[in-house]
Structure 1
Amino acid sequence: MLVRLLLSTILVLLEGLTLASPVIPENHVLSEVLDYSTVYSDNSVAQAFVDELIALSHSSRNISKCDQCVTRLAVGKSLSLLRPDLVPRVFTEWCQRTKYMSNSTCLATFSRNTVKSSYTGTNFADMLSLMDPFGYDGQLYCNYKESACPKPKTPNVTLSHLWPKKEAKHNIAPVPAANDTFNVLHISDFHIEMDYKVGGEANCSLSMCCTPSSVNAFSNITSHGQKDWNSFYDSSYSDNSFVKGDLLDVFKNDSIWSPATTFGNYKCDAPEILINSSLNSIANFSSENNLDFEFAIFTGDLVDHDELSLTSYDVTVKSEEVVFRDIKNKLGDVPVYPVMGNHDTFPYGELAQENHGFLNYFSWNAELMADLWEDYGWLDAKQSQYARKHYTGFSVETKMGLKIISLNSNVWYKKNHYAYWNASQPDTFGQFEFLVNELVESESKDQRVWIIAHIPFSGDALPLPAKMFAEVVERFSPYTIANIFFGHTHLDQFEILYSGPGDDAKTIENVVASSWISQAVTPWVNNNPSWRYYTVDKKTFSVMNAYNYYTRLNDTFTNNGAEPVWEFEYSSRDGYNITWPETAPLNATYWHLVASKINGSVEYNQLYENYATRFSPYVPDCANTTDCSLNYCYLTSFTVDQYDDCVASVQKKQ
């Protein structure tokens, strides 16, 4: 019925063109409509659809923004079935002519595509051809992508058919060994800025700052800001040693208001020299303290944030190759188990399902990564082949017996177009079935598991995948799942899963699991660069402590080009002054106690913010602003719905 309605829309639009219209049989089929459409030129077909969208936007009838958005999707679906190649042209022109978004955002929203060409729009057109505009798909899209519809109710579905009944013994976490630990490095969110330019505009108003194209269009420049800054050197690392380069005369350019310094800026992504400095500090720390890392985890995002205008397929590939090369050079033989972030693909944030003909769009990245990881010795040939074949997730087993399951979080990312069709189904990518199968296997042989991914489920995820993941975690915790690790937010954070909905369930008796969210190396935006390592129990693979190291980036602005100083920040066991047994791991119960302190005290809320941003100059003032008011909601929510409900409750009380 829907297809016939959409085809009727096509005919109405086509018959409104000035060219003569042939007679169409009443029982026409799609092939006949396609033949019919060839009578008309691309321009006339495209213009008819553009005019229809503009008329909808300017309709004098009382049509809600939500209904307009859904109807646009229906019109777009009809075009995607007829002429998918015209979809990006039609929607981009409509968007720009009606000023629905900025010109660059219109282009990025409706015209981003595969590696073949930057702007032919296959992703949006693919989504339209498969989705149901009038159902949950359309409502979900119009809420998250265009903020036009209310958030639809999350479907009441389950994955419980995928696992056996939980035995009583699986409700109890294994007890750690007595003071027998090893060390694991956690690094995340490098976001290398390949075109970083010392002296580039660091206080820009357009695109990413600190690049040759960065400008400040708003400042009335009469003199340079930051006259006391003196770190403008063309420096680098060579053979793991810092080499101070030539001093650059950045102040001769009167159009630059705030010149970028050697090691980066709080409004910019990381220059390679900052990434090398962080890795160098890790290697030096390990050597100086005779502390070895059994392995490292990397939780995503190699590529910078300038995706709207300057990040191409070639830049994406080069960024991925350069950062992993630098990691290998600095960490040597330490195995690294990685995940890909939302920026680590082209186009940005996209990932298609394997079973609808779109796999070839993105398989290049899985193949490139698998080759690199195998070449560097991080995965063996069998593991590499699996990572190459199944790009939404793979697993590895460390030599100590721990299983690490790596998940590609673009599956649940709210900016991924392919996540918006058949969205009421719990597992269109097959990723959760893969995850459950791995967990069932590990549970059957008493094997502990770490799950690593990039995007946490309470923030930039879609609601249904978040709900499904929480269901899986609750089923396999605390016996099988030992730890969960994310990146993405650039903040030092954690999240707690409770059994039961609502704030009333946030009690120590209802604690189920928790996740670690790692700080970033990139300073974007307004954070100090940082990394951490864990001490891990050899028997249970539970985290016993985490040690956080950082550098005060603003110190490098006025140190005459010297290398950054990386220093100890705090340990997770001692930093919040929580009474906790020395022999107990830092599990979800521990983090519940921390979250309760943060919720009940401005002092602890401020301490959390200090750690989250690593004592950045831009850390919010919790005592005199409302900037910290939602921290407790974030820390005690494990899904999108839980976070939204908590925020609504806080706002209602304000």
Structure 2
Amino acid sequence: MRINTLLLACGLSASFQGVHAEANTEKTIATIWDDFKNAVDCGGCQALLGTLKVASGLGEKFWLDVFTGLCTITGIEDPDVCSGIIAAEGPSLYAALKTMHLNSGTSKTLCASLLGLCPYPEVRPYDLTFPSPKPKTVRPPPSGKSPIKVVHFSDTHVDLLYETGSNYECNKPICCRAYEDKDAPGVTEHPCGPYGNPQCDPPARLQESMHAAIAQINPEFSIYTGDVISHDVWMVDQAKVLEGLNATYSAIDRDIGTVYASIGNHDTAPLNLFPPTNASKDDDPEWAYQALAEDWFSLTGVPSVQDADQYGSYSAVHPGSNLRIISYNSVFYYIYNFLMYGEPIEQDPRGQFEWLIQELQAAEDAGQRAWLIAHIPSGVPDHFRDHSQYFDQIVQRYEATIAGLFYGHTHTDEFQIAYSDYNNRDWNTATAMGYIAPAMTPTEGSASFRVYDIDPVTFGVLDYTQYIANISDPSYQVKPEWVPYYSAKADYGSKISPPVTDPKAEITPAFWHNVTVAMERDPSVFQDFWSRRVRGHEVEECDGDCAKSEICQLRAANAQYNCVKPKAFNFKRDGEESVLVEKDPHVNCDHAGMATIIAKMMHRAKIDRKKEIEAR
């Protein structure tokens, strides 16, 4: 009785009282579905969470059965996809709801992140402590010496079960597999080619082709910013993750040479879930950390990478250089990491911010430059805003030491700029540059990798060239050709003021701020960027307010300043029209597992609600 009184006092729906009184699956599904349909604002979302919270009081199995029933009955996914995803990630969301306080910062963050129905709460203050005051040193000038080449690739997502000739127009989240007889080679009218399809994760042979192209460039070393495992998230278990990690990292070791890597949100099972503190055996991905530590040691030979078995992070000084590479686990700060939704949300999960400070201080004391590599960029909408602000404190303190930040995850070609003063974002307040590399998997554009020209003394980025294998080229399915797509300095340097075309000049944070100014001054510069972002694949219209918002996003390594308002997601299934909600182009929700399920439920609820209103 006390639970119902509390929820009613919060102004929430009384419909869930029957849920608490009787463990009836069908009745509970109907009650929760009504709350989905009525969740049109933040209060409605809190009411929905209240119903889900009460249902959680009837036990984990009952709660999972209800959620699986909702997914199946609404037809948003095939039954095997519903049951597989919910069985994997559902227990973590169930546990979060059990302890969550309604109308708290945690619950509002969940509503903002998953359904776009609450505004993001204000960032909670959290002042990090640094071992020494910030020195007066500044970024070192370029050395003028001949650059070295470093390759950056990301989000390979190789599908070990890819079947050439199978259906690329299937009902599953990823295709190019013979899920049913109608999908089989020789039967389907939509056969996928031997080197991949935009509806599918890539086959191993595409990865082999990319590795061969990288080997011809002969880089000093490479960086890989995570996501090995394919997107069949309803089928992935520990054995499949280990098989995928072994296959990809063995191929990298065989084909490329020295590679420094970071952990992706898909590189464990269930995906996305990394506990912020010491966890129970069921929640602890220690097995993934240990496997990655072994793989990464094999790639680098640097003993310190073995420290990654603690929580997926390590620091390594590249042999014979003055460069410290720090790979950190950014998935702790992922809004779909349901293990983070405690009361309150942990501010420094696994003490990683403290560890980052120690490593950067060591670099500063030794006169080294530092690269930070991670999977999820700090400024994107699916990064917790609180933790983006805390991370930005570290970036600002060590701006003279940090030569660059390198990310993947979005599958698109983007960048983000950090500023010492976000209320005065200008070239002279730009302090750090985050490079976001597009993916090898072709779901958001042609497969791609990047080659940086790096100053061998300062390790600043002098230029980069993006390479693609154009999936629209008629010869692609015979033998992909990896060709230069554009150059940062050649295609942007002459369009900024003052121009930067000297091959020995660094493309600094100020350079990239001036690129965004050129986008504002000349819309064609923005449109070129917008097309390159997806390698010319299905380029959505973006001008006016859309362009302003996107430029703001580029100027926001601190996520609270990215101008992005919470949004729900736009889906199509079985030919139905999806016009009721917007799509956030920076969040690849179809790959987010349980988050996709919830967002699709909300979309279906909006369709049903609209039909009910029209029928009155």
What whole-Å deviation, never above 9, does each CA across 1:134-168 have from its counterpart, x for those lacking one? 41111111221234x31232233123334533222
1:202-241 aligned within 5 A: 202-213=168-179
Aligned 8 A contact 2:224 2:260 in 1: yes
What whole-Å deviation, never above 9, does each CA across 1:511-568 have from its counterpart, x for those lacking one? 121111112211113x11111222221221111121222221222x457x53222222
Kindly indicate whether structure 1 or structure 2 has the higher relative contact order, using CA contacts under 8 Å at least 6 residues apart: 2
For the pair 1:632 / 2:551, whether they are aligned, the reply is yes
1:543-582 aligned within 5 A: 543-555=461-473, 557=474, 562-578=478-494, 579-580=499-500, 581-582=502-503
* Equivalent residue in structure 2 for 1:383, among 298, 305, 311: 305
Shift in Å at residue 184 of structure 1? 1.4
Shift in Å at residue 85 of structure 1? 4.8
Shift in Å at residue 347 of structure 1? 0.9
Shift in Å at residue 622 of structure 1? 6.0
Q: CA–CA distance in 2 between the matches of 1:513 and 1:199? A: 46
Q: CA–CA distance in 2 between the matches of 1:379 and 1:73? A: 48
Residue of structure 1 equivalent to 2:151: 185
Unaligned runs of 5+ in 2: 568-581, 583-616
* Equivalent residue in structure 2 for 1:125, among 94, 97, 122: 94
* Equivalent residue in structure 1 for 2:355, among 434, 439, 446: 434
Residue of structure 2 equivalent to 1:339: 262
- Alignment CA distance shift 1:76-1:562 (3 Å): closer
Residue of structure 2 equivalent to 1:89: 65
Shift in Å at residue 362 of structure 1? 0.9
Residue of structure 2 equivalent to 1:262: 194
Q: RMSD value over aligned CA atoms?
A: 3.8
1:425-504 aligned within 5 A: 425-459=346-380, 460-477=382-399, 479-502=400-423
Q: CA–CA distance in 1 between the matches of 2:36 and 2:97? A: 26
* Equivalent residue in structure 2 for 1:175, among 131, 141, 157: 141
Shift in Å at residue 211 of structure 1? 1.5
For the pair 1:585 / 2:506, whether they are aligned, the reply is yes
Residue of structure 2 equivalent to 1:349: 272
- Alignment CA distance shift 1:622-1:68 (3 Å): closer
Residue of structure 2 equivalent to 1:231: none
Residue of structure 2 equivalent to 1:398: 318
1:108-147 aligned within 5 A: 110-113=86-89, 121-147=90-116
Q: CA–CA distance in 2 between the matches of 1:361 and 1:431? A: 16
1:59-78 aligned within 5 A: 66-67=42-43, 69-71=45-47, 73-74=49-50
- Alignment CA distance shift 1:101-1:464 (3 Å): farther
Aligned 8 A contact 2:276 2:346 in 1: no
* Equivalent residue in structure 2 for 1:293, among 219, 230, 236: 219
Q: CA–CA distance in 1 between the matches of 2:271 and 2:85? A: 11
Residue of structure 1 equivalent to 2:606: none
Q: CA–CA distance in 1 between the matches of 2:44 and 2:468? A: 48
Shift in Å at residue 321 of structure 1? 1.4
Aligned residues: 557
Shift in Å at residue 485 of structure 1? 0.2
Aligned 8 A contact 1:56 1:68 in 2: no
For the pair 1:539 / 2:460, whether they are aligned, the reply is no
Residue of structure 2 equivalent to 1:306: 232
Q: CA–CA distance in 2 between the matches of 1:45 and 1:91? A: 18
- Alignment CA distance shift 1:306-1:57 (3 Å): closer
Q: Any idea what SS the aligned residue of 1:259 has? A: coil
Which protein is bigger by CA-based radius of gyration? Answer: 1
Residue of structure 2 equivalent to 1:32: none
1:586-601 aligned within 5 A: 586-601=507-522
Q: CA–CA distance in 2 between the matches of 1:494 and 1:259? A: 35
For the pair 1:373 / 2:296, whether they are aligned, the reply is yes
For the pair 1:280 / 2:212, whether they are aligned, the reply is yes
Q: Any idea what SS the aligned residue of 1:258 has? A: coil
- Alignment CA distance shift 1:97-1:645 (3 Å): closer
What whole-Å deviation, never above 9, does each CA across 1:361-383 have from its counterpart, x for those lacking one? 31110111112223x24244443
Residue of structure 2 equivalent to 1:317: 242
Residue of structure 2 equivalent to 1:165: 133
What whole-Å deviation, never above 9, does each CA across 1:18-47 have from its counterpart, x for those lacking one? xxxxxxxxxxxxxxxxxxxxxxxxxx9982
Aligned 8 A contact 1:95 1:106 in 2: yes
Instruction: Give the structure-1-normalised TM-score.
Output: 0.76
Shift in Å at residue 395 of structure 1? 1.1
Shift in Å at residue 48 of structure 1? 5.1
Residue of structure 1 equivalent to 2:608: none
Instruction: Give the structure-2-normalised TM-score.
Output: 0.80
Between the two proteins, what is the percent identity of the paired residues? 25
Residue of structure 2 equivalent to 1:233: none
- Alignment CA distance shift 1:15-1:473 (3 Å): closer
- Alignment CA distance shift 1:426-1:163 (3 Å): farther
Aligned 8 A contact 1:194 1:319 in 2: yes
Shift in Å at residue 451 of structure 1? 0.4
